[in-house]
Amino acid sequence: MTALRKPDLIELDDYLATEASAPVKSEYLAGEVYAMAGCTAVHNQLSLSFAGLLLAHLKGKPCRTFISDMKVKLRYDGEDTIYYPDVMVDCSGLAPDAVLATDPTVVAEVLSQSTERTDRREKWFLYRNIPALEEYVLIDQIRPEVTVFRRSAHWSAELLAVPDAVLDIPSIGFRCTVGDIYAGVPLPGEKPVTGGRNSA
Amino acid sequence: MRTAHIFTISAALFLSPLLAPAATPSPSPTPQPDVWPLPPLEYFIEHLPAPPRATSYRDRLDLSDAIARQASMTPAQMAQAQKSYAFNVFYFSDIMDPKFTAKNYPKTAAFSLLAGQAAWDIVRA
């Protein structure tokens, strides 16, 4: 017997077909579609900064870095969800024409006022159900602060709140300081943070 | 969520006299509700968003998230959560002074109790 979906819910295939040409990106959660708000300059800069560090580190290695336009698909409790992580590392060998990933090793989200609750609760819960995922990283855009959740630590939080604190992502052999991520990125109401290894 | 309301409002009520200009004369020893500097309603709507629709997938995720967090809490985290739930101004004795207790500061304790009760009245209103 096949369960009937509510008529106002959208099938995953229909969402994916529409999303391919949609002018505004949307995330998909169990048949419901949520349009994504545009991001701020600092959000964009932090995503790019962290992705750049990962990109440089992973050059010549099998894992690859993706940024904000690449979807990740996950399934929990019989429902499909599609998110657009701000930064993602995939080591599963995605095809060049792939439109979504299902087995990312690292996912990072830059926190904003409108998404922080979702990033800290809903996504923290759903991402950890991806078997391949080893680290989930949250990057604050108000202050130089990074939180990392690791599978190896049962997804408990490690807070890195000073520029010299080291973000360690052992699944891909990556290390950087908090200052590296925030180097040259002016935060709201603050002077640019310097002091990272790459800021000299 | 209700505990968060109480925490926020209690802190605002307790700290508001400290933030007032020192030269401002106090017309009455008891603060009146109409002069409490509470933010407008829009502030709470923005910072305390509506919960997900009951029985929706998001609602189930929210509950699953809470259960997962409880399951992974350490005894120290659990003790801290219990302490936060029973919030009053002496919560800050850890960083202010171990002697900052209700027994040593009975007038502060009475004021804190009054502020907490007022906060509950606002939440229930």
- Is A98 in contact with A84 (CB distance < 8 Å)? no
pLDDT of residue B1: 46
Q: Is the pLDDT of residue A196 over 70?
A: no
Greater pLDDT, A180 or B17? A180
Greater pLDDT, B89 or A176? A176
Greater pLDDT, A115 or B122? A115
B93 backbone φψ class: left, alpha, beta (φ>0; ψ -120 to 50)? alpha
- Residue A21 is assigned to a structural domain of this protein: no
Question: Per-residue pLDDT tens for B10-43?
Answer: 555 555 544 444 445 555 556 565 666 777 887 7
- A142 shares contact with chain B (CB less than 8 Å): no
How many CB atoms neighbour CB A64 within 10 A?
18
pLDDT of residue A98: 94
pLDDT of residue B112: 86
DSSP state of A122: I
- Residue A31 is assigned to a structural domain of this protein: no
- Residue A131 is assigned to a structural domain of this protein: yes
pLDDT of residue B42: 79
- Using CB atoms and an 8 Å cut-off, which of residues 3-22 of chain A contact chain B? none
Mean per-residue pLDDT for B98-116?
Answer: 89
A71-76/A100-101 β-pairing? parallel
Greater pLDDT, A38 or A26? A26
- Residue A8 is assigned to a structural domain of this protein: no
Q: Is the pLDDT of residue A28 over 60?
A: yes
pLDDT of residue A180: 97
pLDDT of residue B30: 61
- Residue A176 is assigned to a structural domain of this protein: yes
- Residue A186 is assigned to a structural domain of this protein: yes
pLDDT of residue A2: 46
Instruction: List chain B residues with CB under 8 Å of A124.
Output: 65
> CB–CB of B65 and A124 under 8 A?
yes
CA distance B61 to chain A (A): 6
- What totals of helices (H) and strands (E) does chain B contain, helices first? 6, 0
> CB–CB of A29 and B49 under 8 A?
no
- Phi first, then psi, for residue A51 (nearest 5°) are -60, -40
The CATH code of the domain that includes A137 is 3.90.1570.10
Question: Per-residue pLDDT tens for A92-109?
Answer: 999 999 999 999 999 999
pLDDT of residue A124: 93
Highest mean pLDDT among A33-42, A141-150, B40-49: A141-150
Q: Is the pLDDT of residue A200 over 50?
A: no
Q: Which residue of B has its CA nearest to A80?
A: B57
Q: At what angle do helices B75-85 and B2-19 cross, to 10 degrees?
A: 60
pLDDT of residue A17: 93
- Tracing tokens 């007032």 back to the chain, one arrives at B20
Mean per-residue pLDDT for A43-61?
Answer: 96
List the domain range (segments joined by +) for residue A116: 40-71+83-199
- A122 shares contact with chain B (CB less than 8 Å): yes
- A121 shares contact with chain B (CB less than 8 Å): yes
Domain count for chain A, please give it. Answer: 1
Q: Residue A94, SS3?
A: coil
Local confidence band at A18 (pLDDT 50, 70, 90 cut-offs): very high
Question: What residues does A159 pair with on adjacent strands?
Answer: A147
CA distance B12 to chain A (A): 21
- Residue A9 is assigned to a structural domain of this protein: no
- Residue A24 is assigned to a structural domain of this protein: no
Mean per-residue pLDDT for A44-69?
Answer: 96
**Whole-angstrom distance, CA of residue B2 vs CA of residue A191:** 37
Q: Is the pLDDT of residue A84 over 90?
A: yes
Q: Is the pLDDT of residue A79 over 80?
A: yes
Question: Per-residue pLDDT tens for B40-90?
Answer: 887 777 777 677 888 889 899 989 988 988 887 888 888 888 877 777 788
Q: Is the pLDDT of residue A20 over 80?
A: yes
- Is A157 in contact with A166 (CB distance < 8 Å)? no
Mean per-residue pLDDT for A72-84?
Answer: 95
pLDDT of residue B31: 56
Q: Is the pLDDT of residue A51 over 90?
A: yes
A135-139/A146-150 β-pairing? antiparallel
Greater pLDDT, B8 or A34? A34
- Is B56 in contact with A31 (CB distance < 8 Å)? no
Question: What residues does A100 pair with on adjacent strands?
Answer: A71
Q: Residue A72, SS3?
A: strand
